[in-house]
């Protein structure tokens, strides 16, 4: 429930009406919007980007081309992250291969590699 309140504070969900006893009544649209937010986050969109997508969805100025452009930009972000992760993996494999797991901790190749700058 705290997540729902957070989304309300972020402007992603409107505050639902309350009953006379104070219970919040969520319309079906709110449930649908929550699903949209969750799926968009799973695809890597930030809350700011999700807010923009939701605005485009209801805006008369919103277009399929604009939404596609944003999805393509997200693909580029994902590809850049993959390259970074592959580079990290390569560096970690290199330092773990150089470590036998034996010897004094003061001469531990993995920790030593983090001490020095390599470009």
Summarize pLDDT for 74-112 with one digit per residue, the tens: 999 999 999 999 999 998 888 888 777 776 666 666 777
Question: Could you name the CATH architecture of 1-62?
Answer: Orthogonal Bundle (1.10)
What distance in Å separates the CA atoms of residue 41 and residue 48, rounded to the nearest whole number?
11
Contact 45, 53 (CB under 8 A): yes
Higher-pLDDT residue of 118 and 5 is 5
What distance in Å separates the CA atoms of residue 20 and residue 84, rounded to the nearest whole number?
53
Residue 14 has pLDDT above 70, yes or no: yes
Domain residue extents for the chain: 1-62
Which one-letter DSSP state was computed for residue 106?
G
Which ranges in 1-119 belong to alpha helices (H)? 2-9, 28-42, 47-58, 64-97, 109-115
């Amino acid at each position: 429930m705290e997540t729902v309140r957070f989304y309300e504070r972020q402007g992603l969900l409107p505050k639902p009406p309350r009953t006379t006893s104070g219970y919040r009544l969520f319309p079906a649209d709110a449930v649908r919007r929550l699903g949209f937010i969750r799926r968009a986050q799973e695809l890597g969109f930030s809350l700011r980007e999700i807010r923009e997508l939701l605005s485009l969805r209801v805006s008369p100025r919103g277009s399929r081309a604009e939404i596609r452009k944003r999805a393509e930009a997200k693909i580029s972000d994902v590809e850049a992250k993959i390259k970074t992760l592959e580079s990290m993996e390569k560096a970690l494999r290199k330092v773990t291969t150089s470590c036998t797991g034996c010897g004094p901790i003061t001469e531990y190749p993995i920790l030593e590699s983090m001490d020095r700058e390599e470009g």
